[in-house]
Amino acid sequence: MSKKPSTKTAHQTHNTHDDSEKVKQLEEKLARTLADYQNLEKRFERDSSAVIKFANVALITKLLEVRDHLGMASQNGDKSLGIILSSFDKILVDEGVATISTEGEFNPAEMECAELAPGEKDTIIAVQQAGYKLGNRVLRPARVTVGNGQK
């Protein structure tokens, strides 16, 4: 029994080349699809945590008013209110709430100009109401008095 040498026709060779090219393209599509899926999972995880983080914004915003009242009451010398206020502030910090800094120049993205007063132009003269933000999101802008440039 002698073996006959294999002779592929040009058509068969061309089909094999086409098939391997198709397999290569499908493998590349699969790799891209898997990468897209992994990116989608990461984006979903990130967005989900943002939703959870900002789900309490309405509640925190309402509590800021209570915090203001406690602050005003503690300025009258009631030490027990000072203790309550510090506990309240700790909870806000634990939830990621930060006070907006009102040092230096007026920042319209985080502050509201309640009035203009004599003083260095665009410099904060006084703070009428503290502002707060959660991450980069402003919960309540700081209400400030801003210098009008007249001394």
Percent of the chain with pLDDT strictly greater than 90: 44
Mean pLDDT of 26-44: 88
Residue pair 100/92 in contact by the 8 Å Cβ criterion: no
Domain boundaries, the chain: 15-55, 59-95, 99-151
Q: Which segment, 15-19, 25-29, 51-55, is predicted with the most confidence on average? A: 25-29
Q: To 10 degrees, the CA torsion angle through 85, 101, 96, 109?
A: 130
pLDDT at 10 over 80: no
Residue 118 CA to residue 23 CA, distance in Å, equals: 76
**DSSP H or E segment with residue 142:** strand 142-147
- Could you tell me the CA-to-CA distances from 34 to 21, 23, 27, 37, 48 in Å, in that order? 20, 16, 10, 5, 21
Fold for the domain defined by 99-151: Nucleotide Exchange Factor Grpe; Chain A, domain 2 (2.30.22)
Q: For the ranges 8-17, 42-51, 141-150, which has the lowest average pLDDT? A: 8-17
pLDDT at 45: 82
